[in-house]
Structure 1
Amino acid sequence: MKETVVGWEIDALLDDVNDNIEILSLDCFDTLIWRNVNRPMDVFHDLEIADCTMELRVLAEKRARKALILNKNKNEVTISEIYAKMFREADDARIADCVDKELLAEARHCFAFDPVCKLIDRAKSRGLQVIIVSDTYLPEPLLRRLITDAAGQEIADKIDRIFCSCEYGASKAGGLFKPVLADLGISPGKILHLGDNLEADFKAPAKLGIHGVHFEQFDDEASERLRLEAVAATVLDKETRKVAPSLQPHRAQISLRRKNDATFQFGHDVLGPIFQGFSRWIAEESDAIEANTGKKPKLLFLLRDGYLPAKAFMEAYPEYADQVAMIELSRFTANAASFKDRKAIESFLMAEATSNKKDAYSSQRQAAYCRQLLFFRGEIPKLAGLKTPEAFIREILKAKNVKKIISRSEKFRAGLVAHLQKNGVEHGDNVVFVDLGYNGSVQNVIAPILNAEMDLNISGRYLLLRELMITDLDKKGLIDVRHYDNSALNALCESIAVLEQLCTQSNGSVLGYSEAGEPMRDTADIKGKQSEERDHAQAACLAYMEQLGCGWATTPRSWDSDSARQMAAAALSRLLFLPVEREVGIFENFHHDVNLGTKDMLRFIDPETARQGLRRRGLFYTKNISRIYLPGELQQQGMQALLPLFTGNRFGLDLRQNDFQSGSIKIPVMLADDQEHLQIEIDAYPTSDGYYQALIPVGTGQFNVAIMLGQICDWLQVEEVNFQEIENFMAKKIDDDSIAAHPIYEAMTENAPGLHRCTRKDAFMMIPPPTISTGETLMLNFVFRPTVLSSSAKTDIKKVA
């Protein structure tokens, strides 16, 4: 007979039990009855009791349990005793009213777990009695009422007895099973008990000879994800914890997942809930548009990122299949089809000029713009590589080039129209662009074009919408300003490339269309391991979509459109900011295709660069740094790195480098030029992994600098020595434009690369002025790790402590 089961094994639990078993005993909460929240106390956010918060309800229970010290024969409390401690004075009527309201809140979020309901049915068909043994402050009548409300009358009628710890004054681990056996008048070996608590439901009954079976609700990683999703939901929506609990309607389905390899687990447990929420919303939006217009809209999922959303939607809502098409339409193709006149070309060039990209008009970018403007390969070298943006723009806007672009765009546009018609889009249709988002830039560009060409009424429905200007177009996001503020939306956009690459196909970028509307593609550059991992994750997501609602014998009343949105937003924000270890392992070999008609590929995560950045700059390295998936790089650094990044970005906090500086050590420094020398002390502040950073002012670079390391270290590692322009350094988060320094070591030996030993107390590192003069005010940036402090430095540190 089994001692441990997971969710999908429960309904077959009786297959291998012996004939001696006469009673099936079940734990109640998290076994038969589940809650649609992460923690039981989260239900208390929904209490409709005046002035009562979740925290006050928890404190009242703590006070009631503390009062048990006066009653040696009892270690459990009732719900009425809890509410008696909620108020300074309360009569029985008020307490009873509060109890009723808590039961209503519980009933809103509770549901019956399907495998346990099936187990009850099988037990009754074999002639077994079914009992509930529960650690609960609800007396038997109230618990039976809740079970009936959550599981239905049919299941409640099959439960012969209910034993509640509060009525016996003892928990399961504290002796409840003894009176249970006495009341039943049965030997322990005739009872099979199932529950989710290892101590209460397995070890405690086993001591009495009852065969306990431990139900493992979740594997460790799923449990960690769900907990962190609740954290992410709280940070993302600052009002959530005041108004309602953080809902997790996917808990039961995750518990029933059979495969545990990292990629399948990720696709099922993370991508599945995201696209469950998105798919439900798209179906609702489609219905709303049909109700308003009297005509079913065409749901056009924009490839490449729309591939997985389309497959997930059709898996969940096959009845919409005749409305769905996957359209090859991207920023590149939308722009290419939009150049109807000189003004359109100017708008494109000006948008890029104001994009705030450091390399907005580098020669590489100019070549990409030329490809976007439909110049042929042989024409590009004559146009790209001009020294200034102004020169490049003037060249593009010459009459001959404008004429060429407009002519080619007209042909491109005809191919796009043919492509839409080939996929069932007809003149005058209502169409909905469905995509991940995030600004609806394709819709911005192509909507007026297609309206003129095909009289299309175009809406945009996106997973995440964060508009950068007021467009007055029909756009909505499952996650948008209706539910979250702009700082939250901006934060979610930071690492969204992670989701993009998980949603694509292996096909290359579309470069154009044939006259018949067939897409003409570039070769696919993302192959091998990344494609395999992506396909496996997508298959797992679709497996989740195929079984929506499995685990629910009854549907929680809190499952609605808002619950679906919260679930998707929490799963997405947790992935983007609080990744778990095995997720990061999936992405280690991923690259991001920028999909602008170029072959530019960017590596997803580079943990070594992140580790180096933290050593050299500390946590300030993470503020607004441009990386594809910075939280993935920082995951190995722990929550102390991830949570400040998440909260800082989510709330748009004005944090600066000196906010992260504390616990400094003093280092003696000599500054000397041709006229004089000066001895000062500089504070070196800890960064990460035991490293310190010292910033030493050196004027415009006229000083020789001697750092008297022998006075503070016997051994040290030198990580970085360079000059920085003060103004640029304080504006950047990690330097790209440092000026080389050339240190000279006196009375110091290098015993390994970067590892130095100070052989005398007067050992120092001399840094001459930089060989390049910029005329700007400079500082010397010195990052080091004191591996062995000198005895005097140790004394100074103790004094400071």
Structure 2
Amino acid sequence: MDKALINEVMDSGKRVVRRGRTSLEDVHQMLRDGSCSVLSLDIFDTVLWRRVPRPTDLFAVLGRRLVSEGAIPSWVDAATFRRMRIVAEADSRERRGDLGPEVSLFDIWREMPTAIMLRGDIDFYVEAEIAEEYRTLVPDLDIAAIIDTAHAHSIPIILVSDTYFLQEHLDRFLDQPGLEPLKSARFFRSHEHGVDKADGLWKIVVKALGVLPGQIVHIGDNKRPDVTVPGKLGVRTVHFTRIGERYEPILRRERSPLEPFGPCAPRLDLTQGDFGITSLRAKLIEDAQLDEVAPDVACAWRYGASVLGPVLTGFAEWAARRAHEEGTSVLWCPMREGEMLSTLINNAALRHGLDVTAKPVWLSRHLTSVAALGVVDQDSIHTFMRRRHGMTIGGLLGILQLRPGDVPALSARLGTVLDNGIIADDVATALTESPALRNRIATTATATRERLLAHLRSVGALESGEITLVDLGWGATIQSQLATALELAGIEIKPAGLYLATDTRSTKVALRGLRLEGYLGSAGEPAEIVGPLVRSPEVLEQGVSSLCGSLLDFTPEGEPILAPIAGSASQIHARAALHEGVHSFQNEWLRYASEFSDWPAFDGGEVVQLGNILASSIISPIADEAAVFGAWEHEDNFGSDLVSHVVPADLLPAVPYLSPGDLGDLLMRDSFWPQVLAATDPKLAAAAEAVNSGAVPAEVFEPDVTDAETVLRYRTGDGKWHDGPKVPLRINRNGLSFARLNFEAFDATDISLAIPGCPALVRVDWIEATVTSGGHRLPEPLRWEHPGDFSGLVYAESTWLGGNLVEFHAPHSALWLPLAARAGAPVSTAAVTIAFAVLPQSLSGLQHRPPSGPRLARLTARAKEEYRAGGPLALAAGVARIVTRAGGPPPPPKEDDDDDDK
């Protein structure tokens, strides 16, 4: 990566996205230079906005309070009361008839059933609603600044509102900090004049003011009554958009706060409001000058401001509060996430007056795992290796500071990938079979531990006798390994951990007696939040990590040694924008908190809402998010230099074949973020969303065949067959099917694929196998897609019909792929992908069978395969088998039979 580019992006004095609405800046100038005579303002969602997601959600808050006060029966829950209040208003307007649709709040409450009004007095309920409105209303600080400018330049202010509130109610609502100039403002209320803004109120306003329409500047949020209608009269208008096209898709995927995301989603209890999260995010997104930057930068900034910003702001406040409650004065945030997390926590602690300071510290899974190596035996070395995906023997020796000549048994296999348990066992045996090697490894672990401790001492982490880590979490691996390293060093400190969320692996850490807590979830619960987050954490991890390389080691003095930064220039810019979006949300949150003494603090009630915001962004990424984040590079960061893409290129051609259930079957190594893969096809994304939400059962994408599965078996060098993975057979909206099957073996030579797992006609569009053979991953996958590729295969109780068509006669019918022959050596691991179309047939076998493919083409292709696999002798033996079997039916498959050709 170009250092100049990195320095430019990391320059804290530069902002990626400008903030502030140009239209409001223009209004300030017009007020200062006297180019308008009257400032006109809408009230709700302009001068004031509510700390609830939708205006009508206020009724849910009110309903819960009335139940708690015994003013309405307990059977009227919040959602029911909300709907009743909405319908009562509609009925009241309809009942007015020739008197016009404008009603008062008293009129609306007269439509509510008296049976639920246990207090009997309508005045009580009207006052209760007014009080609840006041509690949730917040002045918009940017509009308040406009009001100050108008007041400073003696520009008259009017308020024009479609409302059922009386003047005394509005006066009460507007009695807020920063809105003092409005006490002398003139009001035009729809209820007062019997007509709303869209149907005549504006004509009344212009006539009453006695000025030319062009001398009025009006700011409002509703397009027709605040912009279109007054604009036709000549009034100059500013559309103060509250929720625009950039924000609507985000709210849609999060669903209504009173309607859960799906059957497994948490029910969001927002009967105390939403802390202003919805409106504050809307304000941020609409204020941002996103049209001035590249689309990927705009997308990343928006994700930071609308998703990660609120989540991490809540997390920071929780961490600061928990530290204060436990008497912990310093929190340690492991890098690379530590820089952002410590800044957010320090901002939160300062806001709440807490004596808590957060500091970054350099720690990593990789370095702490080396430092935690105490007992050097075969099991510990095997575990050490298997935690690292893509590690080679040479890379392992480098980590353990061993030269190839130190381990002669491994010196010829330095490029072998340790992706197989059997290979890992053999390597662990070679590394631990002599006392000298065990001592060398122990010495390396001790030296690494000392360098780690030198760093902890240099930053002051060992001074207080306690270490509390704050990190994103998942398995609490760093905390556990650090605890072991400190114990081996004789330091009596048990690290604690405060995490965004932890999965089930953290249970083992808790069983060690180490304190750890999760904010959004702990030990994998609630699964509907923690599950998606732990399954696909890439954008969150990169969205929090500093723009620097991963930790490789420490100098003897404890200074961190970092790897180069991964990612393209566009990825670096987008990550910087995402970081900026996060800080923008917290800054806006703290700006309002500092202005209003009753601004709500996160107290735990926000957790489910924030969890839903984050989880829904992972489950249902918007198309532009999928395009941006799917192209990002992912670093392994665990001792290897493995870098891959969030969405692997090899799966993109398979998208038309995928069903929603297939996304769930994909392993982490198949795709780090399956939903981003789905988002590349709007129809697949919609189908996945429908299944996730419970609108459509998953069985819609399953064939009407009992227990049909695609099954893989593999044969090893000793001629024995072994059971491999299997996945359910599905037929998607395109009538297509997909299977991804991963297996590992020491010396696999062939695999059999029972593709449909039932009697069926199958069109096999392509089969691809990404394999590790001879200790090395082949640079290109093995592929079968042309008629010639299929004509030479072995078919067990199945028939090649020509081209890429195959008839499978029974559930166990299969075709065989000669992996070793194609790869040039036995295979240790493979990921096999099959894209196909299936037409299930009757289990009775009574249906008409189509003729098999041309026999000459079949024999020629089989001969080529025999020759490729074993040369002239194998070719001769194969011809003999073919001749012997030419006159009879295909024999049943046998585990030790090396050929079942017909």
Deviations 1:135-179 (A, max 9, x none): 22322222322232xx34853753523333234332211222234
| 3-state SS in 1 of match to 2:618 | helix
Q: 1:13 aligns with which of 5, 13, 27?
A: 27
The answer to whether 1:783 aligns with 2:828 is no
The reply on whether 1:87 has 2:113 as its aligned counterpart is yes
The code of the aligned residue for 1:78 comes to S
Is residue 2:329 matched to residue 1:296? yes
> CA separation in 2, counterparts of 1:629 and 1:701?
26
TM-score, structure 2 as length reference:
0.67
CA distance in 2, matches of 1:720, 1:556: 63
Q: Establish whether residue 582 from structure 1 lines up as the match of residue 615 from structure 2.
A: no
Letter in 2 for 1:398: E
- Amino acid paired to 1:296: S
Listed as ranges, the matches of 1:237-636 within 5 Å are 238-241=266-269, 243-246=271-274, 247-248=277-278, 249-260=280-291, 261=293, 262-272=295-305, 274-275=308-309, 277-279=311-313, 281-282=315-316, 285-286=319-320, 288-290=322-324, 292-293=326-327, 296-297=329-330, 299-313=331-345, 323-342=357-376, 346=379, 349-350=382-383, 364=391, 375-376=402-403, 382-383=409-410, 387-400=422-435, 401-450=437-486, 453-468=490-505, 469-470=507-508, 471=510, 472-481=513-522, 485-542=526-583, 545-546=586-587, 548-550=589-591, 554=596, 557-562=599-604, 565=607, 568-606=610-648, 609-610=651-652, 612-626=653-667, 627-636=671-680
User: Which runs of 5 or more residues in structure 2 are unaligned?
Assistant: 1-18, 68-75, 706-728, 740-751, 770-780, 792-801, 819-833, 840-902
Name which of 125, 140, 144 aligns with 2:167.
Answer: 140
Unaligned ranges ≥5, structure 1? 665-683, 710-717, 725-735, 747-761, 775-779, 786-801
- Letter of the 2:558 partner, please give it: G
- C-alpha displacement of 1:350: 4.8
Amino acid at match of 2:283: A
Q: Is the 8 Å Cα contact of residues 433 and 443 (structure 1) preserved in structure 2?
A: yes
Aligned to 2:680, the other structure's residue is in SS state: helix
Instruction: Say if 2:768 and 2:782, in contact at 8 Å, map to a contact too.
Output: no
**1:42 partner letter:** D
> 1:668-679, aligned counterparts within 5 Å?
none
SS in 1 for 2:56: helix
Q: In structure 2, how many angstroms separate the alpha carbons of the residues matched to 1:407 and 1:587?
A: 42
The letter for the 2-side match of 1:96 is: D
The residue that corresponds to 1:638 in the other structure is 682
Instruction: Tell whether 2:101 aligns with 1:75.
Output: yes
Q: Which amino acid aligns with 2:323?
A: I
Shift in CA distance, 104/397, structure 1 to aligned 2, threshold 3 Å? farther
The 1:764/1:583 distance shift into structure 2, 3 A limit, reads closer
Task: Using the TM superposition, give the Cα deviation of residue 441 of structure 1 relative to its aligned residue in structure 2, in angstroms.
Answer: 0.7
Match of 1:729 in 2: none
Please state whether the residue corresponding to 1:127 is helix, strand or coil: coil
**Alignment pair present for 1:49 and 2:66:** yes
Distance change (3 Å), C-alpha of 1:661 and 1:237? closer
Whether the 8 Å contact between 1:337 and 1:412 is mirrored in structure 2 is yes
CA offset digits 1:717-759 (Å, max 9, x no partner): x6726799xxxxxxxxxxx99998958999xxxxxxxxxxxxx
* Mapped partners of 2:427, 2:600: distance in 1: 58
Q: Alpha-carbon deviation of 1:781? A: 7.9
Structure 2 residue corresponding to 1:99, chosen from 109, 126, 129: 126
Distance 1:38 1:418, change over 3 A: same
Shift of 1:782: 4.2
Q: Higher relative CO (CA 8 A, sep ≥ 6), structure 1 or 2?
A: 1
Whether the 8 Å contact between 1:27 and 1:195 is mirrored in structure 2 is yes
Secondary structure at the counterpart of residue 246 of structure 2: helix
Contact 1:613-1:621 within 8 A present in 2 as well: no
Q: How far off is 1:641 after superposition?
A: 2.2
Residue 562 of structure 1: how far off its partner (Å): 3.8
1:34 to 39, 44, 49: 49
What is residue 792 of structure 1 aligned with on the other side? none
SS at match of 1:420: helix
Amino acid at match of 1:146: F
**1 CA distance for matches of 2:490 and 2:635?**
31
Query: CA RMSD, aligned part only?
Result: 4.7
Paired residue type of 2:101: N
Q: Structure 2: how far apart are the matches of 1:699 and 1:604?
A: 28
Q: CA deviation at 1:564?
A: 6.2
Partner of 2:149: 122
Aligned counterpart, 2:877? none
Distance 1:432 1:275, change over 3 A: farther
C-alpha deviation, 1:200, in angstroms = 0.6
Q: Report deviation, 1:624.
A: 3.4
Q: Secondary structure at the match of 1:434?
A: strand
Quickly say closer, same or farther: Cα 1:111–1:326, change in 2 above 3 A.
same
Relative distance call for 1:569 and 1:396 in structure 2 (3 A) is same
Distance in 1 between the 2:754 and 2:607 partners? 55
Q: CA deviation at 1:275?
A: 4.6
Q: 1:303 to 1:75 in 2, by over 3 A?
A: same
Instruction: Please state how far the C-alpha of 1:467 moved relative to its aligned partner.
Output: 3.9
Query: Is the counterpart of residue 720 in structure 1 residue 735 in structure 2?
Result: no
Q: Distance in 2 between matches of 1:705 and 1:546?
A: 62
Change (3 A) 1:178 1:61: farther
Instruction: From the superposition, tell whether residues 534 and 399 of structure 1 become closer, same or farther in structure 2 (CA, over 3 Å).
Output: same
For residues 416-456 of structure 1, what are the alpha-carbon distances to aligned partners after superposition, in whole Å with 9 as ceiling and x for unaligned? 00011112223443322122212211001112432554433
Measured after TM superposition, the shift of residue 85 of structure 1 is 2.9
1:601 Cα deviation after fit: 1.3
CA contact (8 A) 2:324 2:356 kept: no
Match of 1:173 among 174, 195, 198: 198
What SS does structure 2 have at the residue aligned with 1:404? Answer: helix
Structure-2 change in CA distance of 1:97 and 1:213 (3 Å) = same
Measure the CA separation in 2 of the matches of 1:638 and 1:35. Answer: 34
Q: Which residue of 2 aligns with 1:676?
A: none
How big is the shift at 1:563? Answer: 6.4
Distance change (3 Å), C-alpha of 1:196 and 1:484: farther
1:241 offset after TM fit, Å?
Answer: 4.3
- The normalised TM-score by structure 1 is 0.75
**Equivalent residue number for residue 237 of structure 2:** 212
Question: How far apart in 2 are the matches of 1:587 and 1:367?
Answer: 32
When structure 1 is superposed on structure 2, of 178-187 and 210-219 the one drifting more is 178-187
CA distance in 2, matches of 1:21, 1:593: 57
2:620–2:689 Cα contact (<8 Å) kept: no
Query: Does structure 1 conserve the Cα–Cα contact (< 8 Å) formed by 2:620 and 2:685?
Result: no
| Counterpart residue identity of residue 36, structure 1 | R
Distance 2:102 2:426 in 1: 81
Q: Which amino acid aligns with 2:501?
A: L
Letter in 1 for 2:629: F
For residues 685 and 431 of structure 1, do their structure 2 counterparts lie closer, same or farther at Cα, with a shift above 3 Å needed? closer
Asked if 1 retains the 8 angstrom alpha-carbon contact of 2:217 and 2:237, the reply is yes
1:188 deviates by 4.0
Moved more, 306-315 or 737-746: 737-746
Alignment of 1:108-119 (within 5 A): 108-119=135-146
Distance 1:333 1:607, change over 3 A: closer
Paired AA for residue 641 in structure 1: A
Q: In structure 1, the residue corresponding to 2:150 is in which secondary structure?
A: helix
Distance in 2, Cα, partners of 1:422 & 1:392:
37
User: Is the contact made by 2:390 and 2:640 (CA closer than 8 Å) also made in structure 1?
Assistant: no
